[in-house]
Structure 1
Amino acid sequence: MGCWILNEKLSVLLLLVWLGLNFYLFIDTFHWYENEEAYIYTRIMLGSTLAWARASATCLNFNCMLILLPVSRNLISFLRGASICCGGALRRQLDKNIAFHKMVAYGIAVNATIHIAAHLINIERYHTSQSKEAGELRNKLSGLGKSPNESYLNPIRTYETNTTGEVLNTIAGVTGVVITVALVLIITSSTELIRRSCYEVFWYSHHLFVVFFIGLIIHGMGQLVRGQTPQSLLLHNATYCKDHYLEWENATQCPLPQFSGNKPVAWKWVLSPIVLYICERIVRFWRFQQEVVITKVVTHSSGVLELHMKKRGFKMGPGQYIFLQCPSVSQLEWHPFTLTSAPEEDFFSVHIRVVGDWTAALFKAFGAEEKAFKELWLLPRVAVDGPYGSATTGVFRYRVSVCIAAGIGVTPFASILKSIWYKCCNPDTVLVLQKVYFYWICRDPSAFEWFADLLFHLETKMAEKGKNGFLSYHIFLTSWDENQATHIALHYDDKMDVITGLRQKTCYGRPNWENEFKQLAENHPSNSIGVFFCGPKTLSKILQKTCNSYSSVDPRGVQFHYNKESF
């Protein structure tokens, strides 16, 4: 537990601050509406659900203010590059922007549920206040507003009124339904199952956030909840007059109370982040307009398409990613892909695997299905947004780095390993990085094809430079058939590996992470070791837990800093 707190202290602090602010805003608003004199008569009609509705609304506004910030990619990149954010712990926190986005979304969902439930009860209590069973004071309050010089408190004007129809005739009612529907669609389409199987559904439904924010800003204009006006409070002391309601029209100290709705405040909360996000979209649109030249197209086995591109002014770092759009496939969709080229190369590249409708359509557009590529000038236009930093960009900041990839998750490490190769070729380059451990877990032997050449060149270059100990790589094959097993057994004693053609032999099965990390801790007893992972969530949890287990509580001991690649 102590190791976990040391490694995740900033995440824990951020979570506690966020929860603390939510609780503070909820309790403060709740207490204000429970005690404020202007709402004495409103509380008589509605009870404590008034405070529940308003407190949850404040927290809802607060979380809506935060929700766009973690998905403002250019803002995150700016913070990552700013000198104030050069600390490793803070940089790792920026890599968890999507996790924070989800956490805030949960806050919106919880507070929206409380707000809706409270207002449904409020509407019913408004309705019952018009009945004879409600009592004389509630009847009296519900009857206000019939004369020209009176203002109403109860929006349900008669007991016979259809409450559903009446609410849906108000601004608050209509926008409330629109906001709720948009929120439900956004949340339900964000589940991992839908994101993995129908990314397009997730992509399009998420853009309902525009409808959500417009509805949120307009919602408060309905002024459904009303309280006594400041002028009325000076003339009509509700604490005294509520017990003398029969004298309201006759006694000078108790004139008829006047009521008004709250002015909308949601726009004050969300205006700044919306303006910031509009600027974000303008930058993205500007990048969309920039020309991208495709210089090379390669198809690999196991359904992987490699694109080499050039773009004026494009500057990248190892391990970064871009968003790619192909207007001939979809005018709106942008998909993230890790760059597999190195900054030292005069082009940038991505490797794209067919995993959904969009990537399948892209394959078809480039003629990859027929294995007959079009001439470069006939290829469809693509647009590029980026590059953006990711967790793996921190590999060069540690003396010892452990890179772990599963399946296609190897792509960010292609860029990093290439960059290491180029840096080793340059005698003027001074590297902080002294040792790299690379693990790749893959189920399909054919997937090694495009990556094996890179490892071979790197292996050769390290041997030439006398740095055989610089890179230790371990490749694990987790799936094979009987024929492959026979072939592997026959060539087991060969000098080169039968699968990859490398000197380092492929391992079969899955790595024992406990043993691997124990060995790493013994090899580097007093180092800060960066662990970088790209792959499935299940394995990520195992690795994070193992990093925490083998990190020393003593700051002078070995520390494993876990970094996960996420989009």
Structure 2
Amino acid sequence: MGSFLANEGLSIVVILVWLGINVFLFVHFYMAFLIDRWFYTRAILGHALSWARAPAACLNFNCMLILLPVCRNLLSFLRGSIQCCSRTAARQLDRNLTFHKLVAYMIAFHTAVHIIAHLFNFERFMDAQLEANMSSLPHVLSLIGNKHNESFLNPIRNNQTSPTIVMFTTVAGLTGVVITLALILMITSSMEVIRRSYFEVFWFTHHLFIIFFIGLVLHGIKRIVRGQTLDSLKKHNPITCHSEFERWGLDQDCPEPKFMGNPPGTWKWVVGPMFLYLCERLVRFYRSQQKVVITKVVMHPSKTLELQMKKKGFRMEVGQYVFLQCPSISQLEWHPFTLTSAPEEDHFSVHIRLQGDWTEALYIACGGDRTRLQEAWELPRIAVDGPFGTASEDVFRYEVVMLVGAGIGVTPFASILKSVWYKHVQENTNVFTKKVRVRRGFYCVILFVCVP
């Protein structure tokens, strides 16, 4: 139990804090729409108003978080900064994609609640406009705004429309549809079976996040959900005046109420992460323009391609990984590969198993299907982004380490074993780990143990 808390305690705390903030935001904004300012809005919509606005606040919070776990350079910087203070905290950054998925699921949940609540809201707005009882409060509230330059409460202004028309002819409705479709496509294409079999589908569909965020920022720009203005509240108390709506405008104590919507606030939540992500992409673009020289191409058995490369200023640690792009194959696709070289070597290398269209195309571009040796000028241009850190780079900071891998999953250990050889044999460097054991099983499982 103690070891479990030592390893997973901080992760549990982070998840509980994240869930607690979601619960707090939901409850706080649910209650915020039960105050007097929204009395007349609730007269039409009931509690569906709060059920729509509370998840919207949680959506803003989670959309603020969703981009941060995929800012690789930011995470690498944070990992290096806190490594000296807390290894446990640094290890949490290695679970960035897990947290990214959890936040995505939370966004999907709150989106569903928000949509369902607004479907009820559209229906009730329509019912209030079509109310047969002309003297009912919801119908009277729906008639406010028919005069020139008069504020309105009900966004459905006549009885010749429908919720469907409103959905596709208003900014809020149209952006809501776009956001929902983009989210559905991103989540469904992220399923493991699609990622593994049709990576390109996942890759291209996931970039709908750009449309998602544009729609999110524009969603509330027309202030379609309205409440009573603060100036109107001072002159018109809805608690005492709602039962005397026949005398609104005739009685000085109850003038006709005025309404307006809240200014859009989503941009305040997401502008920071969007700026950080933009900086991330600019760094990636700069790195992609740096020259990379392929010094050696090796075709290994079991359909594995090894690329040895050099890049000015490239510095790595054991267990790190890079993203590779081959512009002649695709201008947009970047694929992650673990570095199999040691930091002590004068080059860096990756081993690539041929799985999928992109790796097959790279194999052909590097001359894997040819019988003759390929000239250097015939090799394709390669762009490299990275390196990025993983937990494996901490291997020499522990007295006892066990590493288990199978198949292509042994690639991080190639870098570690090479580095061990350089440190102990060639350089005779004094490192924390003193002994190495390597075992191979039937499935090519390697067990690497360092003991003092």
TM-score w.r.t. length of structure 2: 0.96
Conservation of the 8 A alpha-carbon contact between 1:71 and 1:98: yes
- Separation in 1, partners of 2:127, 2:277: 44
**2:37 partner amino acid:** A
Per-residue CA shift, 1:229-266, capped at 9, x if unaligned?
Answer: 11111111111111111110210111111111111100
- Separation in 1, partners of 2:307, 2:83: 36
Equivalent residue number for residue 442 of structure 2 = 477
Equivalent residue number for residue 109 of structure 1 = 108
Conservation of the 8 A alpha-carbon contact between 2:305 and 2:353: yes
Q: Please state whether the residue corresponding to 1:433 is helix, strand or coil.
A: coil
Q: Please state whether the residue corresponding to 2:363 is helix, strand or coil.
A: helix
Q: 1:316 to 1:264 in 2, by over 3 A?
A: same
Equivalent residue number for residue 279 of structure 2 = 279
Conservation of the 8 A alpha-carbon contact between 2:83 and 2:90: no
| Aligned residue runs from structure 1 range 113-132, under 5 A | 113-132=112-131
| Aligned residue runs from structure 1 range 48-447, under 5 A | 48-83=47-82, 86-133=85-132, 136-426=136-426, 429-434=429-434
The answer to which of 154-163 and 40-49 deviates more is 154-163
Q: Please state whether the residue corresponding to 2:441 is helix, strand or coil.
A: strand
Q: Please state whether the residue corresponding to 1:342 is helix, strand or coil.
A: coil
The CA deviation at 1:148 is 1.7
Per-residue CA shift, 1:366-413, capped at 9, x if unaligned?
Answer: 111234442112111000000000121111110111110011001111
- Separation in 1, partners of 2:60, 2:372: 54
**1:396 partner amino acid:** F
- Separation in 2, partners of 1:249, 1:161: 29
The CA deviation at 1:150 is 2.3
The CA deviation at 1:209 is 0.6
- Separation in 1, partners of 2:91, 2:83: 14
Higher radius of gyration, 1 or 2: 1
Q: 1:399 to 1:139 in 2, by over 3 A?
A: same
Q: 1:123 to 1:367 in 2, by over 3 A?
A: same
The CA deviation at 1:149 is 4.7
- Separation in 2, partners of 1:118, 1:147: 30
Q: 1:125 to 1:2 in 2, by over 3 A?
A: farther
The CA deviation at 1:131 is 2.7
Aligned-pair Cα RMSD in Å: 1.9
The CA deviation at 1:190 is 0.4
Q: Please state whether the residue corresponding to 1:374 is helix, strand or coil.
A: coil
- Separation in 1, partners of 2:287, 2:430: 34
- Separation in 1, partners of 2:91, 2:127: 54
- Separation in 2, partners of 1:146, 1:73: 53
Unpaired stretches in structure 1, ≥5 consecutive residues: 435-469, 479-505, 528-567
Conservation of the 8 A alpha-carbon contact between 2:324 and 2:335: yes
Conservation of the 8 A alpha-carbon contact between 1:79 and 1:85: no
Per-residue CA shift, 1:151-187, capped at 9, x if unaligned?
Answer: 1101112333222112211110111111111111110
The CA deviation at 1:3 is 4.2
- Separation in 2, partners of 1:19, 1:167: 32
**2:13 partner amino acid:** L
Q: Please state whether the residue corresponding to 2:281 is helix, strand or coil.
A: helix
Q: 1:84 to 1:37 in 2, by over 3 A?
A: farther
Unpaired stretches in structure 2, ≥5 consecutive residues: none
The CA deviation at 1:425 is 2.3
**2:436 partner amino acid:** L
Conservation of the 8 A alpha-carbon contact between 1:171 and 1:218: yes
**2:365 partner amino acid:** A
Per-residue CA shift, 1:68-88, capped at 9, x if unaligned?
Answer: 111000000001111466412
Q: 1:24 to 1:336 in 2, by over 3 A?
A: same
- Separation in 2, partners of 1:41, 1:27: 21
- Separation in 2, partners of 1:346, 1:84: 26
Conservation of the 8 A alpha-carbon contact between 1:92 and 1:391: yes
**1:107 partner amino acid:** M
| Aligned residue runs from structure 1 range 490-509, under 5 A | none
Conservation of the 8 A alpha-carbon contact between 2:82 and 2:89: no
Equivalent residue number for residue 501 of structure 1 = none
Note if 1:32 corresponds to 2:46.
no
Q: Please state whether the residue corresponding to 1:419 is helix, strand or coil.
A: helix
The answer to which of 151-160 and 238-247 deviates more is 151-160
Q: 1:50 to 1:372 in 2, by over 3 A?
A: farther
- Separation in 2, partners of 1:331, 1:85: 38
Q: 1:205 to 1:241 in 2, by over 3 A?
A: same
Q: 1:392 to 1:266 in 2, by over 3 A?
A: same
Q: Please state whether the residue corresponding to 1:70 is helix, strand or coil.
A: helix
- Separation in 2, partners of 1:130, 1:399: 74
